Amino acid sequence: MITRRDFLKRTGAVTAGATIAAVGGINVKPVQAQITKIKLQVKEGRQVPSVCPYCSVGCGMIITESEGKITNIEGNPDSPINLGSLCPKGAAALQLAVNDERPEKVLYRAPHSTSWEEKPLDWAMERIAQKIKEDRDNSFIETQDGKLVNVNPALASLGGSTLENEWNYLHAKLMRGLGVVNVENHARI
Amino acid sequence: MPGLGTSYGRGGATSSARDLQDADCIVIMGSNFAENHPVGFRFVLRARDKGAKVLHIDPRFTRTSAMSSDYVPMRSGTDIVFLGALINYALQNDKYFKEYVVNYTNAPFIIKEEYQDTEDLEGIFSGFDPEKKTYDNSSWAYEREEVVLPEGEPANLSERLAREKLVGRPKRDETLQHPRSVFQLMKKHYARYTPEMVEEICGTSKEEFLMVAETVTANSTPERTTTFCYAMGWTQHTYGVQTIRAGAILQGLLGNMGRPGGGILALRGHANVQGATDLSTLWNSLPGYLDMPAKAREHDTLEDFLRAQMRPTSFWQNYPKYLISLLKAWYGDAATAANDFGYDAIPKTLGNHSHYKMFEDAYNGVIKGMMVIGQNPAVGGQNASFHRKALANLDWLVVKDPFLIETATFWYEAPEVKNGTVKAEDIGTEVFYLPSTVFAETEGSFTNTSRLLQTKEKAADPPGDCRSDLWFTYELGKKLKDLYKDSTAKRDWGIKNLTWDYEPDVNPRFKIQEPSEHKIIKEINGYDIATGAPLPGFGDLQDDGSTACGCWIYTGVLPEETVNRAANREGDDYQYLNWGFAWPANRRNLYNRASARPDGKPWSERKKYIWWDEAEQKWTGFDVPDFAATKAPDTPAVPGGVGLAAQSGKDPFLMLPDGVIQLFAPAGLADGPLPTHYEPPDTPVSTNLLYPNQTFSPTAVIFDHLPNNKVHGANNSDYPFVITTYRVTEHHLSGAMTRWLPWLAELMPELFLEISPELASELGVQNKDYVTVETARGKIEAKALVTKRMRPLKVEGKMVHTVGMPIHWGYSGISTGSVPNDLSAIVADPNVFIHSSKAFTCNVKKGRLPGGVA
């Protein structure tokens, strides 16, 4: 029988050990098996492994979902980084997801307007794409000082260092594809 | 990250939080580890419980100080004096690790005769151009032997370009006695960084300094190791990179790099700062620390670019393989050798496009539209009110965030709108607010502060029209590609040919389908174009267009189609090599070849980590060796060799041109080859005691042409107090992910200013009284928190008071307050353009702002 804990571990690679031997040239065995006695608080619902979105320590989390709703978030006792514990921010992460303050619709403010209006998501996506194209086509710099530069100076992108690797990669690719040089995130260090 | 990069070769933290438990001494400087990385701090406590000394050096007494063996106070912004004095102490008292220094650092290398030090030129180095405020670093170079050119034909493009750039080997003096050896130049440079000078400038007593010096050097030997941990307290200065360099030099001299319980742990501030930098949403780099082409450099064609950027005698000789594989990943079949693999489509930077310059361009109308995704510059940017002015000058703005943060609401909720200075009707910005998912509603991976990639899974669909950032970028890309599909214009080649197929791997559990994480991670990892098979390691990448790879340092995360090592979850209590995947090649402690002596044997049984296995003829140990797996310790450097062949079997720092630590940085930094003390742009003292003619960094970037952005200069009586800003455990950054959460808002409900009892008494302020805090940039209010945690220090013969304030507040959310970042100035370091938020000056008065929040 596959236990929940086994399931969470198996979501990774079953051949991990062999891979390390192949890639790193050596095979390193754990010096000491980890023993955790912490038990999850929640028994009901589907549980998925996650990682805390706040600081950079990378604490493991287990999220419990029931009927499409997130019902609990707690530290992953199997993680060698946090052994199940979380700080106050991580421990409050449930409220990041389940929170009445979260807007669920696109809000639009026309130039000089004093109020928001709700808009369909597709409308906003279409308009943003059109604006990017319009500005790009009007401002594009093909050459400067006799050099080919292919720069779109009109668009800027400011990302967040709390966003996933996959987004950072794809977004960097799209921005460079559009000729954007103004690309930044929090990591100005 | 150039601080670590120029010293050791890579910008990443060199060790993991876990590794701290093997340290004999842990120095935490410029970080409030216990409060800002609380769970990682367990490893510090484990070390302490095993007998390690934990030293906290900081302007504020915090919970980190409370848990340390000793707390040592210092004036904010004077770290280079303190660290320089530690370097001087080790050199003067023969307490550096001699065999390590001779073999693993550039201490024996000889510098050109033209080089002049700050000791010769009263605070500046040779090559300074006072008009441009920049250095020409040609006099900082090594003296070199005659170049030896290799025989035979080069095997590939990378080899050919490397040969074109080969120079002679640096001249060395292994006795370290040559007057122009790095060792002797350093000795001279730091000779006046004495315990007495520390007492004068930092305000730290001589006794406290000597206790640190003795503890650190006693715990840096073949038998023992010391770790340094730092965070924004080191980086956020106009000389931030040089502060890290000072720590890096010290750790090199003490022989602590690459060894268990040694290294430098950079504590990054966000879940994925490391990944966002690696992959890279930063103006000046492409994924994997490849450079963005620049108009100002010799980057006209692909070959020009590769020739300029490649480093022929280090692992970076492979640069062309990584860049060409990236171009193949981005432009697919359209990228061919005949069109330089699409190189021209990558825009060339026109100058500086870093954060503050970007907002200047927005303010001036050069930038028309901005997409802000997961950041909150309206309150999080330095001189935040300037950031709001820039936002108000945009034609359009997209804000994508889970909550209605201040960057979305600035046009009706900002203090200047509330108090009538600015009318909402006068702000022409078209604003789109797109509600976002939170981390639990998407899959993907984060790279933590120890370079460890870990995946997370999607737990549930987001509510309503909330969508992930990945969904947004992918759908936007599809729409733009559609808009440009019929264009035949040359300038649209890039967007037209951008490979963009990440259609979801449908998961029937969810209504909202995400772009395929698998397809993205496979592209990042790299694959063989002919077979489509993922590549197991970056050694498989080619420069002939036969491989595609989005980010070479991540290669190996997906060694097989069905194996994602970032999702590995077999933990253990040592280096947990089967938990997640650490770049590069799953190495946990970088430069670990240096944990062995030059002959390949461990420095000591106690600090054994990676060593040469004579019987098996390979490197082995407790980690993945950060070295060519079968390169024996006695392998000589090949004369005329390129890449790793140019380095010997005892050169552990393989990303650097000579395989050794750069104590002296002959290139790569804008502000000098050796860290030098300067005062912050706002400073309470009247002069720089070390260099009276050079109070401030000659290369600091001051944006004094921006409105309301004047710096205070030295000893400005209008702004007599030092202010330092920081975080609390219960909030994060501008509060965008915390001030909307009822539990956290209740735990830490309002903004405060920490004031010492001495200053409170001078100002007639009681605990919980309102105070106003003023700078030339802005004026805000907060409640006074009178505490002995803040202590005045005697500097320049007078008492200098420091006050402290957390940065998290703003005008939206369920816990609101003044904007602390309205107080700071936009000033920057010349290497990475980081600001200065840890040491500026202010005035404090009792009472509230008239009419409340300004």
B732 three-state secondary structure: coil
Q: Which residues make beta-bridge pairs with B611?
A: B620
Share of chain B above pLDDT 70, in %: 99
Q: Which residue of A has its CA nearest to B535?
A: A23
pLDDT, tens digit, 9 for 90 and up, residues A53-104: 999 999 999 999 999 999 999 999 999 999 999 999 999 999 999 999 999 9
- Asked if the C-beta of B269 comes within 8 angstroms of chain A's C-beta atoms, the answer is yes
Measured between alpha carbons, how far is B559 from B563 in angstroms, rounded to an integer? Answer: 6
CATH code assigned at B124 = 3.40.228.10
- Whether B836 contacts B236, CB under 8 Å: yes
Q: Do B623 and A19 touch (CB under 8 A)?
A: no
Looking at residue B12, the DSSP 8-state letter turns out to be S
pLDDT(A33) > 50: no
Number of separate domains in chain B: 2
pLDDT at B192: 98
pLDDT at B852: 60
Rounded alpha-carbon distances, angstroms, from residue B111 to B185, B601, B667, B691: 9, 31, 12, 23
pLDDT(A13) > 60: no
Q: Do B235 and A130 touch (CB under 8 A)?
A: no
In a domain, A56, yes or no: yes
In a domain, A39, yes or no: no
Q: Do A135 and B455 touch (CB under 8 A)?
A: no
**B210-225 per-residue burial string, b: 16 or more CB within 10 A, e: under 16:** eebbebbbebbbbebb
Q: Do B743 and A95 touch (CB under 8 A)?
A: yes
Q: If chain B, 854 residues long, is cut into consecutive pieces of 10 residues, what is the mean pLDDT of each piece?
A: 89 90 97 96 96 98 98 98 98 98 98 98 98 97 94 93 95 98 98 98 98 98 98 94 97 98 93 94 96 98 97 97 98 98 98 97 98 97 97 98 98 96 97 98 96 97 98 98 98 98 97 97 98 98 98 98 96 92 96 98 98 98 97 96 96 97 97 98 98 98 96 98 97 96 97 98 98 98 98 95 98 96 96 93 96 57
In Å, how far is B207's CA from the nearest CA of chain A?
33
User: Which one of B266, B298, B324 terminates a domain?
Assistant: B266
In a domain, A71, yes or no: yes
Place of tokens 């395929």: B516
**Do A120 and A165 belong to one domain?**
no
In a domain, A26, yes or no: no
Q: Do B440 and A183 touch (CB under 8 A)?
A: no
User: Which one of B242, B266, B290 terminates a domain?
Assistant: B266
Residues 28-57 of B with CB under 8 A from A: 36-40, 42
**Do A56 and A91 belong to one domain?**
yes
In a domain, B463, yes or no: no
pLDDT at A160: 79
The secondary element (H helix, E strand) that includes residue B101 is: helix B98-104
pLDDT at B151: 86
In a domain, B35, yes or no: yes
- B584 prior amide bond cis, ω within 30: yes
Residues in CB range of B369: below 8 A, 6 or more apart: A131, A132, A135, A154, A155, A156, B394, B395, B396, B397, B398
Looking at residue B514, the DSSP 8-state letter turns out to be P
CATH code assigned at B765 = 2.40.40.20
What is the band of A44 on the pLDDT scale with cuts at 50, 70, 90?
confident
Residue B456 with chain A: CB contacts under 8 Å: 48-51, 61
Two tokens, residue B280? 């890279």
Angle between helices B206-218 and B79-92 in degrees, nearest 10: 60
In a domain, A76, yes or no: yes
| Three-point CA angle B402, B404, B410, nearest 5° | 140
**Do A49 and A94 belong to one domain?**
yes
Cα first-last separation, chain A: 49
Nearest to B272 among A17, A48, A163 (CB): A163
Two tokens, residue B464? 């309503």
Rounded alpha-carbon distances, angstroms, from residue B774 to B726, B777, B781, B821, B824: 17, 8, 9, 11, 10
Q: How many CB atoms sit inside 10 A of residue A100's CB?
A: 8
Q: Do B454 and A142 touch (CB under 8 A)?
A: no
pLDDT, tens digit, 9 for 90 and up, residues B649-682: 999 999 999 999 999 999 999 999 999 999 999 9
**Do A76 and A88 belong to one domain?**
yes
In a domain, A22, yes or no: no
Number of separate domains in chain A: 3
pLDDT at B573: 84
| Three-point CA angle B605, B607, B608, nearest 5° | 65
**Do A91 and A121 belong to one domain?**
no
Q: Do A168 and B272 touch (CB under 8 A)?
A: yes
Residues in CB range of B511: below 8 A, 6 or more apart: B461
- Asked if the C-beta of B797 comes within 8 angstroms of chain A's C-beta atoms, the answer is no
**Do A89 and A62 belong to one domain?**
yes
Chain-centroid distance, C-alpha B306: 25
In a domain, B473, yes or no: no
* Radius of gyration of chain A from its Cα atoms, rounded to whole angstroms: 23
pLDDT at A26: 35
In Å, how far is B487's CA from the nearest CA of chain A?
11
In a domain, A17, yes or no: no
**Do A86 and A115 belong to one domain?**
no
Measured between alpha carbons, how far is B524 from B116 in angstroms, rounded to an integer? Answer: 45
Domain hosting B741: range is 682-846
pLDDT at B3: 87
Two tokens, residue B33? 């580890």
Q: How many CB atoms sit inside 10 A of residue A33's CB?
A: 10
CATH code assigned at A60 = 2.20.25.90
User: Which one of B266, B288, B318 terminates a domain?
Assistant: B266
In Å, how far is B176's CA from the nearest CA of chain A?
34
**Do A115 and A154 belong to one domain?**
no
pLDDT at A27: 34
Measured between alpha carbons, how far is A44 from B663 in angstroms, rounded to an integer? Answer: 57
Domain hosting A84: range is 44-99
Q: Which residues make beta-bridge pairs with A180?
A: A152
pLDDT, tens digit, 9 for 90 and up, residues B544-567: 999 999 999 999 999 999 999 999
In a domain, A24, yes or no: no
pLDDT at A4: 45
In a domain, B757, yes or no: yes
In a domain, B95, yes or no: yes
In a domain, B699, yes or no: yes
pLDDT, tens digit, 9 for 90 and up, residues A137-153: 999 999 999 999 999 99
What is the band of A1 on the pLDDT scale with cuts at 50, 70, 90?
very low
pLDDT at B816: 96
pTM: 0.95
